[in-house]
Structure 1
Amino acid sequence: MTTPRTATPAPDVCPDDLPFNVFARACPSRDTLEHVTGRWGSLTLGALSDGTFRFNELRRRVDGVSEKMLSQTLHALERDGLVHREAQPTNPPRVDYRLTPLGAAVADRLLGLIRFVEDQMPQVLDARERYDRQRAE
């Protein structure tokens, strides 16, 4: 006789014992993780860790990002409470972006990962070369 297995929560349901579970499809933490760790989100948060910037200053700092993608990224990060947008009533209007305290805490952790990746790049490049060489044979 086999013993019954305990039921595990469906992958799209956050378990009762965890308020949020990024591995659950319907959990809102998954969206925030995507905003933070996506290419433009991580680069934008990293750039903003150096201070307050206007849109075009930020766009120059995040080399390669389009105006549309930076705008979408800033909106998502602002909605998540990581970026503060301040519009000044001047002519022409001036809009500044800076990290919130939550955004600064996230950026600090993200910058640790960025520095780690940068430090490991010689090993990564060696691995890529070995991989490409093996695939070419």
Structure 2
Amino acid sequence: MQATETKDRAVYWGTGRRKTSVARVRLIPGTGQVTVNGKPGDTYFNRIADYLQGIKAPLETLGLENEYDILVKAHGGGLTGQADAVKLGVARALCELAPENRQPLKSEGYLTRDPRAKERKKYGLHKARKAPQYSKR
């Protein structure tokens, strides 16, 4: 996505996806606050520190953890999927910020979308792979 100027501040966009979650992330120069769907990040993610640490990890890799506010609109999936989607969105927005950020983020694995998703159920089976109990006689 494109970087845009609003109120004399640069805004950097990034979109992240994980499972069925989609997160549209904006990075705005600020103090390092995280806002998800209009709520503070720690409230939205039920004060689970691992989610917030993961979201801020790309910023910490570049040493920018207190220089940008993270504004997120997330939907779909659960908290884990949304947190990982936000992390990918933040990393992509940081690549918009400066192209030289791409290499350190890529080496840490922040720019790789996690392809794992729920496998579809197959006919003749109870779940994706769970077969009915076998009876010999």
In the superposition, the TM-score normalised over structure 2's length comes to 0.31
Identify, as 1 or 2, the structure richer in helix. 1
Larger Rg: 1
Which structure would you say has the larger RCO, counting Cα contacts within 8 Å and 6 or more residues apart? Answer: 2
In the superposition, the TM-score normalised over structure 1's length comes to 0.31
Identify, as 1 or 2, the structure richer in strand. 2
